[in-house]
Amino acid sequence: MKTVSTRSVVLVASVAALAGIAVSAAYSNAARFAAVPTSVAVVDMQKAINGLDELKARNDANQKKADARVAELTKIRDEIKKQGEDLEKSAQMAPAGNSDIINKRAELMVRAQTLDAQANAYKQLTRLDAGDVLRDMHAKVLEGIEAIAKRESIDIVIADDRALELPNPGTDEDVGRAINARRLLFATPTVDLTQRVLTQVNNDYNAGKKK
């Protein structure tokens, strides 16, 4: 009859014990990591940005710039219109094919085309101004979020897009696209930092104005 050495039995038992310890350690580590809670909050970025005092102030300043540009263009347009009317009156009394009339008409056409180009340029400048403001306000809100998150040990802050509504009416593609684009499906009011972020950013801005 074949015998099994005591050494082999002990070795097998030791390996099994080590394996058991390793498995137990793995479960212990997993349980330890799983026991650490993750703190999550949400912020409605559109609501936060639209509620900023600085946004209103800078939009008001940009509106004044835009109004000044419109006034400038309106003045030039009125000048061109008046010159055109005067030129046509002169043309009625001038002989046909008068070179002076022809040249002045050409000059007015050039001025009108230049005005159109200037209007398009001013429109683009106005939109760039608005883009600069929006970019800056987005950065300010992110700074506010980070400050609160660090202070209160919040691990993750998610953009709250629940306010986005599904198109109605809308095709299956439109509705499906809107459903797929939505990221946040549910959150309790207790994890919503929007108003707190808005308050902090506004307080920081107004405190800076007083300095």
Which range marks the domain in which residue 98 is found?
A: 37-210
In terms of phi and psi (left: phi > 0; alpha: psi -120 to 50; beta: otherwise), the region of 49 is: alpha
CATH of residue 87's domain is: 3.30.910.20
Return the pLDDT at 142. Answer: 98
Type of residue numbered 120 = N
Type of residue numbered 98 = N
What is the C-alpha to C-alpha distance for residues 49 and 68, in angstroms, rounded to an integer? 26
**Structure tokens that stand for 34 in this block:** 């799983």
**Same-domain check for residues 96 and 149:** yes
What is the number of residues in the chain?
211
Is residue 178 within 8 A of residue 28, CB to CB? The reply is: no
What is the C-alpha to C-alpha distance for residues 208 and 203, in angstroms, rounded to an integer? 8
**45: Cα separation from own chain's centroid:** 8
What is the C-alpha to C-alpha distance for residues 56 and 196, in angstroms, rounded to an integer? 19
> In angstroms, what CA-CA distances link 199 with 45, 147, 195, 204?
13, 12, 6, 9
**Same-domain check for residues 32 and 116:** no
**Same-domain check for residues 71 and 149:** yes
**Same-domain check for residues 117 and 177:** yes
Return the pLDDT at 11. Answer: 52
Return the pLDDT at 30. Answer: 54
Return the pLDDT at 76. Answer: 96
> In angstroms, what CA-CA distances link 145 with 15, 16, 160, 187, 190?
52, 51, 13, 17, 15
Instruction: Please give the average pLDDT of every successive group of 10 residues along the chain, which has 211 residues.
Output: 49 54 55 72 97 98 97 97 92 85 93 97 97 98 97 96 92 94 93 97 90 64
Return the pLDDT at 161. Answer: 94
Is residue 59 within 8 A of residue 211, CB to CB? The reply is: no
Q: Is 6 helix (H, G, I), strand (E, B) or coil?
A: helix
What is the C-alpha to C-alpha distance for residues 154 and 156, in angstroms, rounded to an integer? 6
Return the pLDDT at 171. Answer: 96
**Same-domain check for residues 69 and 128:** yes
What is the C-alpha to C-alpha distance for residues 168 and 174, in angstroms, rounded to an integer? 9
**Same-domain check for residues 102 and 166:** yes
| Number of separate domains in the chain | 2
Is residue 65 within 8 A of residue 179, CB to CB? The reply is: no
Return the pLDDT at 4. Answer: 47
Return the pLDDT at 208. Answer: 86
**Same-domain check for residues 110 and 133:** yes
pTM above 0.85, yes or no: no
**Same-domain check for residues 103 and 5:** no
**Same-domain check for residues 80 and 164:** yes
What is the C-alpha to C-alpha distance for residues 2 and 8, in angstroms, rounded to an integer? 13
Is residue 174 within 8 A of residue 167, CB to CB? The reply is: yes
**Same-domain check for residues 108 and 151:** yes
**Same-domain check for residues 167 and 196:** yes
